[in-house]
Structure 1
Amino acid sequence: MGNADLRDVAVIEDVSFDDVSGVVAVDAHNWLYRYLTTTVRFTADEAYTTADGREVANLIGIVQGVPKFFEHDLTPVFVFDGGVTDLKADEVERRREQREAAEERKEAAEARGDAVEAARLDAQTQRLTDTIQETSRELLRLLDVPVVEAPAEGEAQAAHMNATGTADYVGSEDYDVLLFGGPCTLRQLTSSGDPELMDLAATLDRHEITREQLIDVAMLCGTDFNEGVSGVGPKTAVKLVREHGDLFGALRAEDAEVANADRVRSFFRDPPVADVSVDTSVTPDVDAAREYVVAEWGVAADEVDAGFDRIEDALTQTGLDDWT
């Protein structure tokens, strides 16, 4: 999910939904995964499992999560990941091993009758399957929510859309958005309260560094694409980069190395992204979406009725013209 050490570096402030408006380029995988794990943990399996055993908890998550945008002056654009760079191979393998270990612990919890622990571990085994990917896109289409397919990392594409004015904000929990150059990121969009605003310019000003130097700071701590330098945390990394100018000066000073340093650095500085045009006039077909979720995929109606009602209320109270 990105470099959590950047939490100690980033300028993040609490904001009210009343103070934000416009288009949000949502890091779709990040957003979906959070709703997916929460739904699986707190919802009975039969509510989102089809007769042939396919799990579509994502549909519950989307219906519960999308209304938050519609109820405020925000238009979501969901940005899906494209191809995974080979730089991320080690991180992908690490996450796979974590899921497999959680699966083993879940089976042991089930065997001893510990339903609470099994549910907690079940959330940790979730992944965005082909079924989840396909049904998420179709439900968003029925709700008339724009979808963008990123060439590579979804958060990089979302950051590019924000930086070029296609979107007013990125919606993500991933701190890598800062490294990819996203100016304004709304966090906590999947929580029950107001969001947080992560500000790139304010972050750079606070530490008197450039975005390129911020990338170097992150690489010293470690990212999804490289191991960091042992014993170097965010404060030390900022100090080293400011004193020595860049990553390589800091590495020489610490007599340390970072594997694939040039490639990782270049990837953050100039990631694969595309210029896109997005139609943000949103006209959800709530009846068709409800039919798709409940009738076609067999999701328990009582798990999604409230979400669909909220969307319909937003249509009435906000008006479609305010979403464009």
Structure 2
Amino acid sequence: MGNADLRSLAHIEEVSFDDVSGVVAVDAHNWLYRYLTTTVKFTNESVYTTSEGEEVANLVGLVQGLPKFFEHDLVPVFVFDGGVTELKSAEVEQRRERKEEAEAKREAAEERGDAVEAARLEARTQRITDVIHETSRELLGLLDVPVVEAPAEGEAQCAYMNRVGDADYSGSEDYDTMLFGGPLTLRQLTSKGNPELMDLEATLDDHDITYEQLVDIAMLCGTDFNEGVSGVGPKTALDAVKEHGDLFAVLDARDAHIEHADRIRDLFFDPPVTDDYEFDTTLTPDVEAARAYVTDEWEVPADEVERGFDRIDDALTQTGLDDWM
């Protein structure tokens, strides 16, 4: 969910990598975007830009981020977004406008010679291009990391795979996986240190509410699909839903309105997902082919990705390919 207010209500606790294992359905766009912005912010542009001018910061990010899975007892399955849900079009347009504004500010920073500010703003203008889509899938394939194509929202597909038992966790920094009914979400997979575990059932128990009421609370605060009700934060929304029962009763009591409230509610409860996927949890990555793909075909300097590939090699050596999941 775009509104991080839900964190104050969600049951989230730090866990050790030693205490989690199994399959993680990774929200690919969320995961890639975070590595894209970090790579662009802290890496010289020449590192991820080819002689033809193509930017592939995603390849650097993938090689930096994937070892975390291989080094622990986790199998990543990258779930890519499908088409944009109609109800999310306003949010997408707002993100586009913010990127355009950041791009204008970046150009101004460059003109006045402020390299630090220009780099910070460059990170905010990143988007997942066709080249990033293509090269990410190619590299994941060489490393034998499964890919699932969602019909719409990747978070919804991750939550579905978690809910039906095909994945032990969703993997995302957002809160939508819980709103889409995902039982367990691993967060902070793009950060240093231990991950966080977000638990849907524990969240409901903590506040003595139903899953449907949790969605109603989120909608009152605001989601990627709707503006929240003015003046309503998570605590107020929680109290109001518990007092009145559901979203519509709260809206009536406050004489408030949420455009397309019934459709958005139904989207969380029954999103477009697919079960047309299959994958093997025994991964046999071709590290040398992946290394050549990144450094030779896409011209990323070898020393920029050497440590990441070495970590994957070391993880496979220590566990043995036959023993890895």
> TM-score, normalised on structure 1?
0.99
Cα deviation for residue 286 of structure 1 reads 0.5
Cα deviation for residue 323 of structure 1 reads 2.9
CA distance in 1, matches of 2:54, 2:190: 24
| 1:173-192 deviations in Å (ceiling 9; x for gaps) | 01011110111111000111
Task: Report the equivalent of 2:105.
Answer: 105
CA distance in 2, matches of 1:319, 1:211: 42
SS of corresponding position for 1:13: strand
CA distance in 2, matches of 1:217, 1:87: 18
Instruction: Determine if contact 2:40/2:57 at 8 Å carries over to the other structure.
Output: yes
Cα deviation for residue 281 of structure 1 reads 1.2
CA distance in 2, matches of 1:256, 1:147: 42
CA distance in 1, matches of 2:77, 2:51: 32
Task: Report the equivalent of 1:42.
Answer: 42
| 1:16-70 deviations in Å (ceiling 9; x for gaps) | 0011011100000000000000000000000010112110000000001000000
Task: Report the equivalent of 1:24.
Answer: 24
Cα deviation for residue 3 of structure 1 reads 2.8
Instruction: Determine if contact 1:73/1:322 at 8 Å carries over to the other structure.
Output: no
CA distance in 1, matches of 2:192, 2:85: 34
Task: Report the equivalent of 2:268.
Answer: 268
- 1:8 equivalent to 2:8? Answer yes
Instruction: Determine if contact 2:65/2:190 at 8 Å carries over to the other structure.
Output: yes
SS of corresponding position for 2:279: coil
Instruction: Determine if contact 2:189/2:195 at 8 Å carries over to the other structure.
Output: yes
Task: Report the equivalent of 1:309.
Answer: 310
Instruction: Determine if contact 1:166/1:277 at 8 Å carries over to the other structure.
Output: no
Identity %: 75
| 1:98-125 deviations in Å (ceiling 9; x for gaps) | 0000000000100011000000000000
CA distance in 1, matches of 2:231, 2:320: 54
1:283-322 aligned within 5 A:
283-322=284-323
Structure 1 segments (4+ residues) deviating >6 Å: none
Instruction: Determine if contact 1:294/1:301 at 8 Å carries over to the other structure.
Output: yes
Cα deviation for residue 274 of structure 1 reads 1.1
Instruction: Determine if contact 1:74/1:323 at 8 Å carries over to the other structure.
Output: no
Task: Report the equivalent of 1:207.
Answer: 207
1:50-61 aligned within 5 A:
50-61=50-61
1:319 counterpart letter in structure 2: G
1:166 counterpart letter in structure 2: D
Task: Report the equivalent of 2:168.
Answer: 168
1:177-256 aligned within 5 A:
177-256=177-256
Instruction: Determine if contact 2:316/2:324 at 8 Å carries over to the other structure.
Output: no
CA distance in 2, matches of 1:25, 1:308: 22
**Any gaps of 5 or more consecutive residues in structure 1?**
none
> TM-score, normalised on structure 2?
0.98
Say how many residue pairs are matched. 324
Cα deviation for residue 322 of structure 1 reads 3.4
Task: Report the equivalent of 1:81.
Answer: 81
Q: CA RMSD in A?
A: 0.8
CA distance in 2, matches of 1:86, 1:220: 20
**Any gaps of 5 or more consecutive residues in structure 2?**
none
CA distance in 2, matches of 1:233, 1:46: 44
| 1:217-253 deviations in Å (ceiling 9; x for gaps) | 0000010001110000001101111111110001011
Cα deviation for residue 2 of structure 1 reads 2.7
| 1:66-118 deviations in Å (ceiling 9; x for gaps) | 00000001110000000101101100000000000000000010001100000
2:314 counterpart letter in structure 1: D
SS of corresponding position for 1:127: coil
2:72 counterpart letter in structure 1: H
SS of corresponding position for 2:173: coil
CA distance in 2, matches of 1:322, 1:35: 29
Cα deviation for residue 277 of structure 1 reads 2.6
1:159 counterpart letter in structure 2: A
| 1:114-155 deviations in Å (ceiling 9; x for gaps) | 000000000000000000011000000000000000010001
Task: Report the equivalent of 2:121.
Answer: 121
Instruction: Determine if contact 1:166/1:278 at 8 Å carries over to the other structure.
Output: no
| 1:271-296 deviations in Å (ceiling 9; x for gaps) | 00112332111000001101100000
CA distance in 2, matches of 1:199, 1:45: 39
1:217 counterpart letter in structure 2: I
1:16 counterpart letter in structure 2: S
SS of corresponding position for 2:226: coil
CA distance in 2, matches of 1:55, 1:99: 17
CA distance in 1, matches of 2:190, 2:232: 31
Task: Report the equivalent of 1:323.
Answer: 324
- 1:282 equivalent to 2:275? Answer no
